Amino acid sequence: MPFDLPQKVMPVPAASLKFTTNEEIDENYARLTATFKSGETRSLPYRRKQLLQLARMLQDNHTAFEDALLADLNRPRMETTVSEVAHLITSVMYAVENLESWAAPDPCPTKEAWRSSWGATLYKEPKGVVLIISPWNYPLVLTVNPLIGAIAAGCPAVLKPSELVPTFCELIASLIPKYLDPNAYAVIKGGVPETTHALALRWDHIFYTGNSRVGRIVATAAGKNLTPLTLELGGKSAAVVADDCDDLDVVAKRILYGKLQNGGQLCVAPDYALVPKAKVDAFVESLKKAHEDFFPEGDHPLSGPRPISDIVHPTHHAHLVDLLHRTKGKVVFGGQIHKDKSIAPTILTDVPVDDVLMGEEIFGPILPILAVDDIDEAIRVINSKPIPLVIYLFTTQDELKHKFLRETRSGQLVVNDTIMQLCVHEMPFGGQGESGYGMWFGKTTFDVFTHRRGCITVPFSDEPFFQGRYRPYTEDKYQAACAPGKVKIPDE
């Protein structure tokens, strides 16, 4: 199938998106709550059926999703297919294949023989009705991936996609009730007022992906009802080029690839690069070469047949342009601006640590390069900022990997590539502090929406062993109970 298909899903102007009313939000909540209380979503055959239907939805409508994100983000079909649709179908099938083992009770072996007959067991129970709030940058994968875990866990779910991608929002809202049980899964369309109304309801878990500013608002709302929460945020993820890296062409290609996905609007995009002073010039030349490979003659990133993705909102576009105007760094490549729509891949050198580009996450196709004396200075720069979602380290030395594991903090550490951790759905993914909290991906997403309920059965035949615990308390009972004093604790 050619990747330059005519667009069939027509763009939906933001002003034409019909928002869900507060009454409809309340009706959805009540309907899904009733479904959960009925126990219908708990059965494994039900969960399996819904997961397979979700996979069919993705497969049947993959070109429609490409169309929607082409309309909303000007994103190339290739990026949508690889990073969202294909990835999600694989993730759904992984959940289907492992559903029974994930949901099976876990026995808890006990140390003392006299407790082994109690059958200590952890049962996997769905938490209940959950709310999934997803952003605009990767709206399909960041809506559906948490949904996979919710379905697998047996939880009804309300989805709240971003209103900034109206074509996608309308599409997913039309498809969910066609493929999934409408009594267990629903979509809310709307902006801040609708989200605020939804957050006031008592959910059994909230899963939010977005920025830290809104994350704090969501956390505050969740706290009012003591609702458990997963926050998937972002941060300034560094790409560190070690002095031992000689193949700068490959390093530059991999960094630029991660930086330009979705126009740099990706929470795990490399935000800035830390490069040895002696290698900066060569690294810049390698980045230029990689850019030429990505955008050959006649395929300009702003005006070619497959341009870079748009900056989703004029306000964010203006913010990026303002950063370029105020930075003390030197633009050595790119910098072209397309009105309020897009920005060409831009590389800057001579960027000081306290530059405007080194404040908040850039979230755009701008790569500042900071020259460092050595790897220790690179670590100091990273540690001077809030904990990032990921650190990208390029090195041939295994000891450097362990040095970064010891001396830095991040959600993930990826060695010698960028963003490929997203392909490993068997490995939990998540941030720390400003980059979020809570892990997900694969079985871990199932665990997010699952309560591990402990259960023991104490036989009546054990009653003779319990006589010493009952009143009246006596000296003999006290001496028999003083086990802490009998435990041998080694000196070291």
Q: Are residues 270 and 226 in the same domain?
A: no
Please name the residue that has the structure tokens 């002095």: 243
Q: Which residues are catalytic?
A: 232, 267
Q: Is 79 part of a structural domain of the chain?
A: yes
Three-class SS state of 55: helix
Report residue 5 as tokens. 């298909």
Q: Is 78 part of a structural domain of the chain?
A: yes
Q: Are residues 281 and 199 in the same domain?
A: no
Q: Supply the range of the domain harboring residue 336.
A: 238-432
Q: Is 5 part of a structural domain of the chain?
A: no
Q: Is 327 part of a structural domain of the chain?
A: yes
Distance of alpha carbon 251 from alpha carbon 414, whole angstroms: 13
Q: Is 172 part of a structural domain of the chain?
A: yes
Q: Is 474 part of a structural domain of the chain?
A: no
Please name the residue that has the structure tokens 């990133």: 301
Q: Judge whether 83 and 267 are in contact, CB under 8 Å.
A: no
Determine if the peptide bond prior to 193 is cis (ω within 30°): no
Residue 4: per-residue pLDDT: 53
Distance of alpha carbon 449 from alpha carbon 174, whole angstroms: 25
Q: Which residues contact 372 (CB under 8 A, 6 or more apart)?
A: 274, 275, 276, 277, 378, 381
Q: Are residues 275 and 157 in the same domain?
A: no
Q: Is 102 part of a structural domain of the chain?
A: yes
492 residues of the chain, pLDDT tens digit each: 444 555 567 788 877 889 999 999 999 999 999 999 999 999 999 999 999 999 999 999 999 999 999 999 999 999 999 889 999 999 999 999 999 999 999 999 988 877 888 999 999 999 999 999 999 999 999 999 999 999 999 999 999 999 999 999 999 999 999 999 999 999 999 999 999 999 999 999 999 999 999 999 999 999 999 999 999 999 999 999 999 999 999 999 999 999 999 999 999 999 999 999 999 999 999 999 999 999 987 778 887 777 889 998 899 999 999 999 999 999 999 999 988 789 999 999 999 999 999 999 999 999 999 999 999 999 999 999 999 999 999 999 999 999 999 999 999 999 999 999 998 988 999 999 999 999 999 999 999 999 999 999 999 999 988 998 999 999 888 888 776 667 788 888
Query: Judging by beta carbons within 10 Å of its beta carbon (0-12, 13-18, 19+), is residue 479 exposed, middle or buried?
Result: exposed
| 143: CATH | 3.40.605.10
Q: Are residues 217 and 294 in the same domain?
A: no
| 264: CATH | 3.40.309.10
Three-class SS state of 137: coil
Among 8, 72, 59, 36, CA closest to 175:
59
Q: Are residues 225 and 310 in the same domain?
A: no
Q: Judge whether 351 and 367 are in contact, CB under 8 Å.
A: no
Q: Are residues 116 and 145 in the same domain?
A: yes
Distance of alpha carbon 17 from alpha carbon 20, whole angstroms: 10
Residue 156: per-residue pLDDT: 98
Q: Are residues 357 and 399 in the same domain?
A: yes
Instruction: Return the number of other C-beta atoms located less than 10 Å from residue 318's C-beta.
Output: 12
Q: Judge whether 382 and 408 are in contact, CB under 8 Å.
A: yes
> Looking at this protein, which amino acid is placed at residue 39?
G
Q: Are residues 229 and 258 in the same domain?
A: no
Residue 425: per-residue pLDDT: 83
Q: Judge whether 30 and 124 are in contact, CB under 8 Å.
A: no
Query: Judging by beta carbons within 10 Å of its beta carbon (0-12, 13-18, 19+), is residue 186 exposed, middle or buried?
Result: buried
Three-class SS state of 207: strand
Report residue 55 as tokens. 């996979």
Among 76, 98, 78, CA closest to 86:
78
Distance of alpha carbon 181 from alpha carbon 464, whole angstroms: 52
Q: Are residues 258 and 196 in the same domain?
A: no
Instruction: Return the number of other C-beta atoms located less than 10 Å from residue 376's C-beta.
Output: 11
Q: Is 140 part of a structural domain of the chain?
A: yes
Please compute Rg for the chain using Cα positions.
26
Residue 483: per-residue pLDDT: 66
Counting the structural domains of the chain, the total is: 2
pTM for this one? 0.94
Query: Judging by beta carbons within 10 Å of its beta carbon (0-12, 13-18, 19+), is residue 226 exposed, middle or buried?
Result: exposed
Q: Are residues 251 and 220 in the same domain?
A: no
Q: Are residues 256 and 160 in the same domain?
A: no
Q: Are residues 404 and 291 in the same domain?
A: yes
